[in-house]
Amino acid sequence: MVMFFLHLCQGTSQAPTSGADILLDLLSIGTPPVQNNLSMPDRLSSSQENKSSVTTLEKLSSPSSPLPTQVSYPAGATPVMDLLNGLSPNLSMPGGNGPVYPSIVAFQSNSLKIMFSFSKPPGNPQATSIQATFTNMSSNVYTDFIFQAAVPKFVQLNLDPASSSTLPASGEGSIKQCFRVTNSQHGQKPLAMRIRIAYKINKQDVTEQGQVNNFPLGL
């Protein structure tokens, strides 16, 4: 079993263990604007007071394409449409804008839901821009909201400040945070991420943590 640690400014907290091979590299921690592009092992991604940090393994299976149907053509005719039979419907490809990746539920508990949406800058397949949306499903307001993340050594993480440190109750609002990841082994290793969320309910500390396992293929 592999042990991972997130070192908070106030102390040290231990994250859960995991035996997944890809997570053996989860030693590089991303940080919001105060420290960008961190690559040192076991470093903290922590942002407080409107600065939080965010930070998968499972490849989404692509529906297999149907086998092309054999069609007889008159002599001299060119079966142009046959050229389309083998195309895979993995990702939609709007003209000139590159692939479009589906949003995912990155984390969900009884009280908190985190959505990730993705975009890629033109001409840089290694880079991905991600917007995280945090929704409070409980009847209690969350204050001092902090989002932390750990990424593998081959990934660079740059985080922007979160939109707020207070998360309204009952889904009546959200916190948003944008960040960018650069996968130096794009096409060889998928993105992986361990996350930890801390907040307060009526001045009582609450911590949730998990692992993102469903990044779209191709990031």
CATH of the domain at 13: 2.60.40.1230
Residue 85 has pLDDT above 80, yes or no: no
Residues pairing with 2 in the sheet: 18
At 97 the pLDDT is 60
What percent of the chain shows pLDDT beyond 70?
55
Q: Between 97 and 134, where is the model more confident? A: 134
At 99 the pLDDT is 80
User: Is 66 among the domain residues?
Assistant: no
38 φ, ψ (degrees, to nearest 5): -75, 135
Residue 152 has pLDDT above 70, yes or no: yes
User: Is 24 among the domain residues?
Assistant: yes
Residue 125's domain spans which residues? 5-60+99-212
User: Is 174 among the domain residues?
Assistant: yes
Other Cβ atoms within 10 Å of 139 Cβ, number: 8
User: Is 173 among the domain residues?
Assistant: yes
At 59 the pLDDT is 33
At 170 the pLDDT is 96
Rounded to whole angstroms, the Cα distance separating 143 from 140 reads 10
User: Is 79 among the domain residues?
Assistant: no
Q: Which amino acid, residue 85?
A: N
pTM of the predicted model, to two decimals?
0.61
What's the structural domain count of the chain? 1
User: Is 189 among the domain residues?
Assistant: yes
What percent of the chain shows pLDDT beyond 90?
51
Residue 214 has pLDDT above 70, yes or no: yes
Kindly give the residue spans of alpha helices, DSSP state H, lying in the chain.
Answer: none
Query: Which has the minimum average pLDDT: 43-47, 94-98, 118-122?
Result: 43-47
Rounded to whole angstroms, the Cα distance separating 187 from 179 reads 21
User: Is 107 among the domain residues?
Assistant: yes
